[in-house]
Amino acid sequence: MRLLGRGGHWSATEVFDEVKVELPGTSVQAVYGVLSALCEVRILRKIEASAGAALYEVHRGDNHHHLVCVMCGDIRDVPCAVGQAPCLTASESHGYEILAADVTYRGVCPACATV
C-alpha cells in the first residue's frame, strides 16, 4: 500500500520488483493474490486499459477515467466525462446491480505524435 500510495498506475510486475527489495521472500503469485484481495474490498482499482498487463491504482472513489496512448502505453487520469454520456447508463441491466462504468479514451500522446 505504501508503494501504490505514491500514486500512478502500477503493473503487478512493477509492484513485485519494488516489494521484493524489502521482502525478498515474496513471490509474484503472492503479489497477485494481495492485489486481487485489495481490489475485492475496493482499496485498489484494476485497470485493463490496453492489450498489455493490467494496472493497479489506489481506489479514490472519484470516478475518474483514463487516457491511454495507443503507441507507447502512457496512461493518464482524466476527470469524469462531461456532456451527454448515453453509454454510461446501460439500456438493459439484465438484473445486475451496476456499480460502475469505466471509460478509457485511446489516442496518441504528444511525444508519440511527433515521431
Confidence band (pLDDT; 50, 70, 90) for 64?
confident
Angle at CA of residue 82, ends 91 and 80, nearest 5°? 90
The answer to whether position 17 is within a domain reads: yes
The answer to whether position 32 is within a domain reads: yes
The answer to whether position 115 is within a domain reads: no
Q: Tell me the CATH number at 91.
A: 1.10.10.10
Confidence band (pLDDT; 50, 70, 90) for 86?
low
Q: Please count the structural domains in the chain.
A: 1
- What is the C-alpha to C-alpha distance for residues 29 and 46, in angstroms, rounded to an integer? 16
Confidence band (pLDDT; 50, 70, 90) for 19?
very high
Model-level pTM? 0.79
